[in-house]
Chain A
Amino acid sequence: MDELINPNPVVHERRATQRSSKPIQKQPVDSALGSGEREPIDALEIFEHIRDINDPEHPYTLEQLNVVSEDMIEVDDVRGRVSVQFTPTVAHCSMATLIGLSLRVKLWRSLPPRFKVDIKLSPGSHSSEAAVNKQLGDKERVAAALENPNLLAMVNKCLAGPAGAGAAGVAP
C-alpha cells in the first residue's frame, strides 16, 4: 500500500496478564463434566488466542495497538457464546474488516465448534460501524471472503504470529 492509514499509531507494552488465583466457584464433583472439575473457557483464554494477531499494516500485535483487550471479551462457556469487540486505531480504518476477519478465523480455529463467535466493532469506534458489523456478522460473506485466496493469504499473514512464534505460542 502506498499510504499508511494511520502512519503513527500509539504502541502499548505487552502486559503481563496472569490468571488471578484459582477461581472461587467450586463445582460439585458430580457435575456433568467428569470427576476432574472443568477449568472454564474465560475471557483471558480467549484473549490469549487473539492477543498476538498481527496488525495488517504495522509490525505490531493487536494487543500492542490496543485493538483488542481483555475486558472487551465476553464468554459463556456453558452455552457456547463468545463476543469480541475490537477498536480500530483510527475511525476511518479500512483494515477494520480485515482485522475482524482475522479475529473470526483465529477463534474459529482455536475454539471448539460448539461456540458461536460474535465479532463487532466497539460502539462509536468507526465511521462506518454498522456496515462493518453487518459484513462481519454475515456468514455468507465471511465464507466468500475466505474463498478468495488473496484475502486468505492476508489473514494467514496476520495470524502467523510475531516472528514466526506460533500464534498460540504462549508457553503452557
Chain B
Amino acid sequence: MALQGPLTSPEKEAREHGTRLLGEVVARARPSLSEGELHTLAEFVAARLRDWPCVGAASAAARALLQPPPPVPVPVSGGAEAAAAVPLRDDSALVLMEATSEMLRTAQSFRQEERSALLQLLLELAAPGGRWAALAAGRRGGAAGAAAPAPGSGTGGAGGEGAPPALPPLPPPPDLLDAFLGAADGEKDPRCLLLAFQAVQALCAMHHAPGADAGPLRALADELVDWASAYFPIAFNPPPPRPGSAPAAAAISRAALAGALEGALAASPFLAAAALPLMLEKLSSTYRPAKEDALSALRRCCPAYGPDALGPHVAQLWPALRSEVMGPAAGGAAASAAPAAAGGPGGDADGRLPLARVAASCLTAVVRAAGPGAMDAVALQDAAVTDLVAVVRGAGASAAATAATSTASAAVAAARADAQVLCGSMLLAAVCAAGPAATQRAQPAVLAPLLALLRSSLGPAGAGAAAAPAEAADAAAAAASTSGSSSSSGSSGSVYCRWNQTLYGLHLLTSVVAAVAGELEPGSSGSDSGSSGGGSSSSGGGGGAGAWLGPAGAGGVEALAEVRTGLTSCLALLQPLLDASSSSSSSDADVAMDASAVGAAAAPGCYSPAAAAQLRLAAVAAWRALLELHAAALAAAAAAAAAAPAAPAVAAARDKLLLPPGELQAAARQLAACALSAGSAATAEGAGAAAVACRMAWGRSMDAGTEAEAALRQLLRLPAPQQTAEGAAEAGALLVPLLVTSLTQAMGQHGPARGAALRLAVQLAAATGGSSSSSGSSTAAAASGSDDGTAAFAAALLDALAPLLLHRAHDASAADEAWLRDCLSQLSSRVLAALASRPPADPHRGAAAAASQRLAAAALGAAADAWAAAGCRGLPFGDAAGAAAPPGAPAPLHQGAGGDLAASAAAEASAQLVAGWAGLVQQLTAVCDDRQQLALAMDAAECIATAGSSSSNSSSGGGGPPAADWVRLPLACGVVAGLRPALLAPQSTQALADSLLRLLAAGGGAHAAALPEHSACAAAVALSAAVNRWQDAAALDGWIAGSFRPALLEHLPGSSSSSSSGSDGVAGAAATRAAAVGWVGRALAMRNHSALGDVIQALLALLNPATAAAATTAATAADAATAADMEVEVEGPVAAHAPASSHTSSSDASSAAAEAFGVLVAEQAASGGVCLPARPAAAVCRVLWQQRTFSLCVQALSGAVSPQQLRASAATPAATSAPPQQLPLPVAMAVACLVSAAPRGLCRAEATRLTPLLLSSVLRLCAEVCPGAGPGADGPANAAATATATATAGTAASELPSPSAVAQAAAALRGALGVVGDWLAHQAAQPAAALGQALQDHVTELVACVCAAALAVPPARHTDSVAASAAAAAAAVAAAAAAAAAAAREEALRCGLALMEAVPYHLLHPLRPKVLAVIVRALDDNRRSVRQLAVRARRTWSDK
C-alpha cells in the first residue's frame, strides 16, 4: 500500500492527511472490500481514532466504513462479493464503537471540526437501525444477561481490540450516552450543538427501541436534562456574515437551535420529571424569549411525554398556563385606567396578546396530552372559569348600573370585564378544543349556564316591567345548575340594556365553536397528531377528527351540538333586534360605548349604535365560526369515510354538527343583510367609515361588511362537498337563488345600497378571481373543484341581472348611468374573466354560457327596441354639435335642462356606457360555447352588414342611416371581437370584413354623418379581429389587395395627394382611418403576414410630412427668436401655407398613427371598450410575432429619422440657444408608444438600436410637455418662475400646444421613461454587456433626458377669457396633463436613482453638478411624491 508511509509517519500532519485519504479510498471502494479487509481497516481506523491529531480524519473514515454499503447494480469484477457488498462485521463495528466512546469522553479538548466529526460519527452509530441498536439487540437475544453491563472506559477499548473475530459472545456495546455527555459538556459552538441535540434524539430513540435496555437512559435522564437546561432558552447571536464565506453554510438560526433543543427535550418520557419543572420555571420568567421558548417546548414535549409522565405535574402545569392565558386581562386591569379612553384594553396588552394566544394553543396540546379527565377536570373547576360565568351575568346588571355610577369608573370596569372575557374565552376554547371528553365535561359546568344567560339576555323584545319577573324566573331556572344569583339578571330593564351580556355570551360560545372547528379541520389535526409522534397515539387523548367522530366522542359532540343549536336560535333572536335598531338608529352615532345605557334610554326599542355595531360584528363572527364547524365536520367526515367507509357513528356525529338547511338559509339571509347594510352605510358616509374598533377582537378595527362578505364566501364554498349529503345538497341549491334574489332586490332599489350590493355580488362571484384570473388556466382548473358554489352563484347572478341591466337601459338617470357603467365594467373585467378561464366541460360554465347568450342577444335586440321606445327622438348620434343621445342606452336626454356642458358630459358618459356595453358583450360572447357563438355571430353580421350598406348608401344618397342599426353597431362589433377564431367561415369573414371596411372608409365621405368615435373604434377592432381570424389565407391576400389597400391605405392623408382640403369631419375621419389601419396591422402582425410592411410604411408616411417639413422650418428657424415659435412651426409644418383645419387634421391623424404603433405590438390592446388580447383563445397568434413586429417598427422608425436630427437632439443639452433641429413630435410619440407597449424584454434586447432613438424622443417629448423650460434653460430656479417665463415666451395660449396634446405627450413620456427605468434597473440588478454598453455610450443623453423629464411641468393656463363650460373642461384636461406629467417626473427621478447603480460612476461624475441642480429644483416640486423621490435622489447623488 502506497499509503503506508504517511499512515505511520511520525509527522502528525502527514498521518492526518494519510488517514483522510484512506477515508476517501474506503468510501469509494466500499463495495469491493471483503469482510476481512473491512475488519483490518476497522481496527486500523480505531487505532487512528485514538491518535489525537488524526481524530477528525479518522472519524470520517470510520463513518465511511459504517455506512451500509450501497447496492451495486452491476457486478464490477464478477463474483458474488461484488454483487452484494459485505456489511461491516459486528465485532469490527464494536471496535470502532469502543474507540469512539473513548474519544468522546475526551472530546472537549478537540477543535471544533474534530468535535463535529466525532458527533457525526456518533449520530451514525446511534442512527435508527444503526449499529449500536443492532449490537445491543443481538447481544440480548443471543446471550441474555450473560455479560455485565457498562464496561469501563479504559478497558473497553483494549477488550474490543483483542476480541477474536469469530467469538460468538461479544462484549456489550459501550455506553454511548455517558460518553456523549462527556463530549457535549460545555459545548458552545452552534454547529456542534445542533449535532449534539440531534444526537440526544438519536440516543433516546435508540434506548427506546424495542428490545433495547432503557435502564441507562433512565439513570442518566437527570444529567441529560441538566446538560440541556444550560442551553434553555437558547441565547444565540449570529455572528456577522463573513465576506468570503458562503451564506448558506453559516445559516444557523436561533429558531433552528431552539427547535433542535426542543426535539432533544421531547425525546424521552424519562426526561419529563426533570424537564417540566425547568420549563415551568422559565415560563414564569419575565424574559420574553424564555416564555416563548418554554411555551413552544411545552407544546412539543407534553404530547411526546404522554399522560403517564405528565400525571404528576398537572397540578403545576395548569396554574402556570392559566396565568399566561389570562395575562392580558391581569395587565389590562392594572393599566386599564389610562387606556380606557381609547376603548378596550390598551396598547400594553397588545404585546402580551400573542403570547397568550400561544399559551392557549399550548394549553390545548397539554390538556389533550394529559388525557381525558386529568387536566380538564382541574381546569373546569378552576376559579377563573367559574368567574367567567359570573362576569357574563354581571354584565347584564352592570350595564343598568352604569347610569348611576360615574362614567369613568364604568369605563374602567368595562375594559376590565372585556379583557377578562376575552382571556376567559381563550382559556375555555383551549380546554374545549382538547377533545370531546373535555367538551363534554365543560357542558354542564360552563357551556350550559352561558347559553342560558345568552338566551335570557335576548329574552322577549317587549320585556317591560311586566315581563321582567317571568324572565327572571326563566333565567333562574336556567342558571339553577350553578350557584346562580339570578336576581341580577332580573334586575336589568330591557334587552337593550343587557347587550353587554349578549356580547360576552356570544363571544364565549363563538370562540369555543371556532376552536373545535379548527381542531376538526383535517389538515390541522393531521399535522398535529403527526407532530406529536407515533409514541403517544395510543394514549387516548390524541386529538383530531377521529376522536370527535369516533364513538368515544359522542358525548362531546352532543354537548357541541347543543351549543350550536343554542347559538343559532340566539342569532335568530338577535337579528330582528339588530334590524330594528339599524333601521331606527338615528344620527347620534357619537354615543360612546360606556354611555350605551344612556343611548338606549334615549331611544328605547333599539340598541344604541355602538352596541349594535359590536353585536353585529359578534353575530357575524358567530356565523363564521358555525360555518367553519360545518365545513370542518364535513371534511373530517369525508376523510373518515375514506378511511373506514360505512361507519354509522361517524355519520351520526357529523349530522349532529352540521347546520340544517334551514339554518344555512337563515345564515345566508342574515349575512347578506348585514353585509348590505354595512356596505351601504359605508358608501353613504364615504369610504372606510364602517370599520369599528371591535371590542371582542382586542380593539382591532373591523368592518362588519367585509367580515360578512368573507362569511358569505365561506358559505358559497360549502356546497361543493355537500354532494354526499343529500339533504344538504338541496340546501346548497336553495342558497344561491336566495342570495341572488336578495342582492338583485337591493340593486333594484335606489340609493347607496345599490352600489354596495353590486360590490358584494362582484366580490362573491369573482371570489376565485385573485388567483385564477391572473394566472393561467391550470390553477383555475385546480380551483374549480372547490369553487363550484362560486361559479353557480356567478351564473345565477348573470341570469338575475339581465332584466335589471336591460331595464336600466330604458330609463336611465345620471346616477343610474354611473351605476350601470360600474356594473358593466365590473362584470366584464372580473366576473366574466373568471368564468371564461374555467374549463368548458364545467357544468356551471354551461349555465353561465346560456345566461350570457341570453343577455347578449337581448342586448342586441333590446338596444334597438329601447331606442324605438324612447320615441326615436333625434338622431342617436352624428349631430353636428356632437351632443348626441347616448346610443347604447338611448336615454331621453335632458336637452332643455343642460347647456353645452351637460350635453358634452352626457355624450362623454354615454360613450363610456357604450364602451362598457361593448366590452361586456365581448366577454359574454367569449363565455358562450360554439353553437351559441354562432347564433350571436349571425345576428351581429347582419347588423354590421346593414349598417355598412346603409352608410355607403348614405354617403351617396344622403339619407341618414337607420338609427337602430347605429345603436347596435358597437355591440355587434363586440360580438365579433369575442368570437373564437375557428368559428368564422371564410365567406362570412369576407362579407364581414367588407362591410366593416365600408363602414370605416365611408366615414370619410364629405356628406355622411361621421361615424361616432366609439363606434369607429369598436369597428376597427372588430375588423382587426375578423382579419386576424381569417382562415383562408389566399382570400385574405385578395382582400388586402382588392379592398383594404384602395379603401384605406391609399386614403391616408400622408400618402400621395389626399388631405388637401378638409373640414373637421375629415380630420376625425383621417384619424379613424389611421387607427383602423393600425388595428388591421396588428391583426396582420399577429399572423406574421407580409402585408405588415406596407401598413408600417403607410403609418410612417402619416408621420412623415412632419419630417419633411422639419427641414424647411429648421432652415427658417435658424434665426427664429424664441423656442415657443419653434414649437409651433415644428409641430405644424404646413401651418405657413395651409389652413389651420388641415393642420389639425394632419396632426390628429399623425397622433393616431403614433398610437397605432403602440397597438401593433401590445400584448393586449383595447379601444372603444373592445379589446383584442394576444391570447391564442382570442386570436390567431404566431410565435415570435411581437419580436418580428417590434423589430420592423424600430427599423422603420429609425429609417424615418435623419441622423443629424438624432445628433442635434443629443447635443441639445449642452447648448443654451435653441437647438437647430429636433425630432418631429409624431415620430417621438410613435417611438414612445411603441416601446411602452412592447414587452420590456424586447426593449432590452433591442437596446443598442433603440437607445439613440428613444432618448431623443424623450427629449422631444419633454420639450413638448414643458415648452420654454428647455433642458438647457436653468436660469429660473423654481416652477413658478418657469411658468411665468413660459407665459411671457408664449404670448397667447393658442400658440402653446393644447392641453390634451400635452396630456398625451406626458403619458407617452411616462411610458418611454418607464422603459428607460427598466433598462437601468435591470442593468443594476443583473448586468448585461450589450445593454451596459448601450447605456454607457449614451450616458450624456441619458442624463440630459432624466434632467429634462424631472422638470417637465406643464405650463399654467389662463382660461378666464373662455366660456365657463369650456373652462371647466379645459381645467379637467389640464389637471390630467399635470397628473401625467407628475408621474413622468417621478419616473424620471427613479431613473436618476437607478442611474447611479447601473452606470459606472466615473462616467457620471462630470454630469453630477447638473443633475444635482435639477434635483434641487425637484425638491420644490408641487407634488409631494416627487419631492420625496427627489430627497432620495439627492442623497444618492451627493453621497458619492
Contacts and interface: CB of A to CB of B under 8 A. Distances in A.
A37 B1374 CA distance: 11
A41 B1427 contact: yes
Contacts of B807: none
Contacts of A112: 1278, 1416-1417, 1419-1420
Contacts of B1438: 109
A33 interface: yes
A39 B1422 contact: yes
B1435 interface: yes
Interface string B1275-1294: 00111100110000000000
B1356 interface: yes
A38 B1355 CA distance: 13
B1371 A45 contact: no
A9 to B, nearest CB: 18
B1377 to A, nearest CB: 7
B1424 A39 contact: yes
Interface stretch (B765-773, B934-942, B1046-1054, B1378-1386): B1378-1386
Nearest to A161: B1435
Ranked nearest first, the 5 interchain pairs of A and B with the lowest CB-CB distance are A36-B1378, A112-B1420, A35-B1374, A38-B1422, A168-B1431
B684 to A, nearest CB: 16
A139 interface: no
B1375 A35 contact: yes
B1285 to A, nearest CB: 12
B1425 interface: yes
A16 to B, nearest CB: 12
A122 B767 CA distance: 54
Contact of B1377 (A33, A35, A48): A35
Q: Is the interface of B mostly helix, strand, loop or mixed?
A: helix
Interface of A: 13, 29-30, 32-39, 41, 45, 48-49, 109-114, 166-170, 172
A140 B1138 CA distance: 65
Interface of B: 347, 1277-1280, 1283-1284, 1299, 1353-1360, 1371, 1374-1375, 1377-1379, 1381-1382, 1386, 1416-1417, 1419-1420, 1422-1425, 1427-1429, 1431-1432, 1434-1435, 1438
Nearest to A13: B347
A36 B1382 contact: yes
Nearest to A111: B1419
Nearest to A31: B1356
B418 to A, nearest CB: 22
A141 B1422 CA distance: 33
Contact of A34 (B1371, B1422, B1427, B1431): B1422
Nearest to A30: B1358
Given A49-B1431, A114-B1278, A30 B1420 contact: no
B1422 A33 contact: yes
Contacts of A167: 1435
Contact of B1425 (A34, A49, A172): A172
B1425 A30 contact: no
Contact of A32 (B347, B1283, B1355, B1416): B1283
Nearest to B1386: A172
12 contacts: A29-B1357, A33-B1279, A34-B1378, A34-B1422, A35-B1299, A37-B1422, A41-B1424, A109-B1435, A168-B1431, A170-B1428, A172-B1425, A172-B1428
A35 B1296 CA distance: 14
Contacts of B1416: 112-113
Contacts of A114: 1277-1278, 1420
Contacts of A109: 1431, 1434-1435, 1438
B1278 A30 contact: no
A19 B1375 CA distance: 22
A35 to B, nearest CB: 4
Nearest to B347: A13
A36 B1420 contact: no
A111 B1355 CA distance: 23
Contacts of B1357: 29-30, 35
Given A110-B1431, A112-B1416, 20 more contacts: A32-B1280, A32-B1283, A32-B1284, A34-B1355, A35-B1299, A35-B1355, A35-B1378, A36-B1353, A36-B1375, A39-B1424, A45-B1427, A48-B1428, A109-B1434, A109-B1435, A109-B1438, A110-B1419, A114-B1277, A114-B1420, A170-B1428, A172-B1428
A111 B1431 CA distance: 8
Contacts of B1417: 112
A33 B1287 CA distance: 12
Given A30-B1359, A112-B1278, A36 B1423 contact: yes
A34 B1278 contact: no
A23 to B, nearest CB: 11
A114 B1278 CA distance: 10
Contacts of A45: 1424, 1427
A18 B920 CA distance: 38
A114 B1279 CA distance: 13
Which of B1277, B1278, B1422, B1434 lies at the interface centre, i.e. has the most chain A CB atoms within 10 A of its CB? B1422
A34 B1283 contact: yes
A35 B1358 CA distance: 9
A34 B1434 contact: no
A166 B1378 contact: no
Contacts of B1354: 34-36
Contact of A33 (B1283, B1382, B1425, B1434): B1283
Which of A33, A34, A39 lies at the interface centre, i.e. has the most chain B CB atoms within 10 A of its CB? A34
B1423 A30 contact: no
Contacts of B1375: 35-36
Contacts of B1386: 172
B1369 to A, nearest CB: 12
Contacts of A32: 1280, 1283-1284, 1356
B1359 A29 contact: yes
Nearest to B1283: A34
Contacts of A34: 1279-1280, 1283, 1353-1356, 1378, 1422
A27 B573 CA distance: 54
Contacts of A169: 1432
A172 B1356 contact: no
B779 to A, nearest CB: 30
B1333 to A, nearest CB: 30
A169 B299 CA distance: 40
A30 B1427 CA distance: 22
Nearest to B1284: A32
Given A112-B1419, A172-B1429, A33 B1424 contact: no
A125 B1354 CA distance: 47
Contacts of B1424: 39, 41, 45
A107 to B, nearest CB: 10
A75 B1284 CA distance: 25
Contact of B1356 (A13, A30, A41): A30
Contacts of B1428: 48, 168, 170, 172
Contacts of A172: 1386, 1425, 1428-1429
Which of B1356, B1374, B1416, B1425 lies at the interface centre, i.e. has the most chain A CB atoms within 10 A of its CB? B1356
Contacts of B1358: 30
A36 B1381 contact: yes
A71 to B, nearest CB: 19
Contacts of A168: 1428, 1431-1432, 1435
A170 B1386 CA distance: 15
A39 B1360 CA distance: 23
Nearest to B687: A21
Nearest to A39: B1424
A152 to B, nearest CB: 13
A36 B1379 contact: yes
B1401 to A, nearest CB: 18
A29 to B, nearest CB: 5
Contacts of B1423: 36, 39
A168 B1371 CA distance: 33
A145 B1127 CA distance: 50
